[in-house]
A and B are shown apart, each in its own frame.
Chain A
Amino acid sequence: MAEIQIKNVAKKFGAYQALHDINLTIADQEFMVLLGASGCGKTTLLRIICGLETATEGEVWIGGRRVDHLAPKDRGIAMVFQNYAVFPHLTVFENIGFGLRMQKLPDDEVRRRVERVASLMHIEMLLKRYSGELSGGQRQRVAVARALAMEPDVILMDEPLSNLDALLRMEMRAELKGVLAESKTTAVYVTHDQVEAMSMADRISVMHQGEIVQAASPIEVYRNPAAEFVASFIGNPPMNFLRAEAAGDGKWSVAGNVIDGPRYGKSPLQFAIRPEDMQPAGDGLEAKVKIVEPLGAHLLVTCEVNGTLFRAVLDSDMEVKRGDMLTLAPQTDRVRWFDPETTLAVA
């Protein structure tokens, strides 16, 4: 049982504040993804959980034990590094068994565990090789096997798939998810790739400028972004935004249309809608088509609504060309509202 609790963790590098007062609880056996653009502090947070970095303030608890003053090896964790860090002077066998050797486990126990995780990761035929004789994907498997061999409570992964080519990444994504679920460990996974985050996570913590903006299930993060940043970061293409002027009594004027919205003061709000949540209809937003991109499964149309760029995902059978005028009706239950002052979602 290993629940991770991060309490009021802050990190400064000199004058630069990398993390601000982070609070996060990761449940036992949960797959938590830390998602954000580079420089958002996600790797720093992972390294603080791991013990390679010390928090300036705050506490880290793993499995009900405060660990922020313990060495990495005493925290019950194992880690998969971005560049794998598979030791080039050791064979695959000795790489996977490295941590077990450090624990001075008997030879037959090391052999048993190495062989078990090697077969789990389908690399049992590579055990005698050196890392220089492996492909990137195989090295990746060795790095994961080395972490699994420790039978840790928590497995930490720092962009483990980012150095693989697209096809291999997709394959490893599914495999890794299966292996981790099987091993019943708590996983913290850092990535900047939202597809990876959406497809693997039980929960995603979206990070921005050293803060966790939203921590929720993938579908919740996608459907109900807690802030404008999340809405514009998640989803490809991201959410569309239009300025909405108060029209009184919970009505808002968006590009000349009056739409039902929240009762929320008189200052303007941001109206937001996902590109796939609109249909061409007789009544709606007037959009002038600028670019048409047929993507096979659907049609991605970039238009201009009231001088603002606006994307719509339409049926691939639609005949649309540059310069056409479209009338797009937003699906009302999918419309979201944000306060431009706080950038937070308005219910």
Chain B
Amino acid sequence: MNARLLPYMLILPVTLFLCLFFLYPFVLVAKQAFTTGAGFTLDNFREVVSYWKFPISLKNTLLLAAAVVPIQLALSLLMATMVTRMEKGRDLVLYVWTIPLGISDLAAGLIWLAIFEQSGFLNSMMHGMGIVDKPANLLTFQNPGLVFVAIALAEIWRATAIMLVILVAGIGLIPKEYYEAAEVFGASPWKRFVRITLPMLRPSLQTALVLRVIMAFEVFAVVAALGGTLFPVLMGETYAYQFDLLNSGAAAAMALVILAISIAATLVILRALRVPKGATI
């Protein structure tokens, strides 16, 4: 076997797999989005963007991402720093913290629904403690703020661990000597975090943020379980086009809009957290 060809031969199976099950469907979706019966057109895009629910679902999706991701970033950094400092029981704590990762997003939504619904844990508890006279239905159109908070909480609970895992691995790669040098040269623990941990964690932060932000734009099942139609989001609208309105051209166009937003966000994150030219981390 020619040694120069061997690497390409080895990645051939996975390349074929990706082309068949990823690239090909993607091309189909793109084709669907840009065509009606009569050749190339932007009609599908015009239709979805001019629909009255589009601005609301776009706003909701972005707002949710803007509220959830920074909190998750701060939380996962804090948790990762704490776990890294642990000498014993570190793996156990990590396992417990990552349990939500193993639960599907619909199940996660249902768990939080069980807390917030009229006969749920929160109402029972408040009623039992005499804070409220009778259980109230919290997740209604009269409480849009509460619906948002419930969805945000469920998202934070469900998806912080994915960032945590990446950041724990990243922090583990930073040599201890850098912290010792920083300490000897007068950096307080906070300064060490800001001047050593954060900059040297940039590659991991990029990965964690890109993954998490893309996930945030694709939010669907948690919202469906907790908000139903009260809180329209882009992915929910895509679903409605495909399965309720049976308009697959519009659904494909929505999917591409979400993809465009994801790509834009990814580029912004990569740019914001880039490592200066020449610096090696």
B-binding residues in A (CB < 8 A): 50-52, 71-73, 77-79, 81-83, 85, 87-90, 98-99, 102-103, 129-133, 146, 150
In the bound complex, residues from chain A placing their C-beta under 8 Å from that of B196 are 87
If A83-B175, A130-B280 touch, whether A89 touches B199 (CB-CB below 8 Å) is yes
Contact partner of A89 (CB less than 8 A), chosen from B180, B181, B186, B279, is: B279
State A87–B175 Cα separation when bound (angstroms).
Answer: 10
Query: Are B177's CB and A102's CB within 8 A?
Result: no
Query: Are B200's CB and A88's CB within 8 A?
Result: yes
If A87-B196, A102-B191, A103-B186 touch, whether A79 touches B181 (CB-CB below 8 Å) is yes
State A72–B186 Cα separation when bound (angstroms).
Answer: 7
Main secondary structure, interface of B, reads: helix
Smallest CB separation, B276 vs chain A (Å): 7
Query: Are B187's CB and A52's CB within 8 A?
Result: no
Q: Give A47's nearest chain B residue, CB to CB.
A: B180
Query: Are A102's CB and B184's CB within 8 A?
Result: no
Q: Give B176's nearest chain A residue, CB to CB.
A: A85
Query: Are A130's CB and B279's CB within 8 A?
Result: yes
Query: Are B186's CB and A52's CB within 8 A?
Result: no
In the bound complex, residues from chain B placing their C-beta under 8 Å from that of A72 are 183-184, 186
Any A CB within 8 A of the CB of B22: no
Smallest CB separation, A184 vs chain B (Å): 20
In the bound complex, residues from chain B placing their C-beta under 8 Å from that of A90 are 279
Any A CB within 8 A of the CB of B182: yes
Smallest CB separation, B281 vs chain A (Å): 6
Query: Are A77's CB and B184's CB within 8 A?
Result: yes
State A79–B179 Cα separation when bound (angstroms).
Answer: 13
Any A CB within 8 A of the CB of B278: yes
In the bound complex, residues from chain A placing their C-beta under 8 Å from that of B200 are 88-89
Contact partner of A88 (CB less than 8 A), chosen from B183, B184, B280, is: B280
Q: Apart from A73-B184, A78-B185, A89-B202, what are 6 other A-B pairs with CB-CB below 8 Å?
A: A78-B184, A79-B181, A85-B180, A102-B186, A102-B187, A150-B185
Q: Give B181's nearest chain A residue, CB to CB.
A: A85
Query: Are B178's CB and A87's CB within 8 A?
Result: yes
A sample of 25 inter-chain contacts (CB < 8 A) reads A71-B183, A72-B183, A73-B184, A73-B186, A77-B184, A79-B181, A82-B177, A83-B175, A85-B177, A87-B178, A87-B181, A87-B196, A88-B200, A88-B280, A89-B200, A89-B279, A89-B281, A98-B182, A98-B185, A98-B195, A103-B186, A130-B278, A130-B279, A132-B279, A146-B185
In the bound complex, residues from chain B placing their C-beta under 8 Å from that of A102 are 185-187, 191
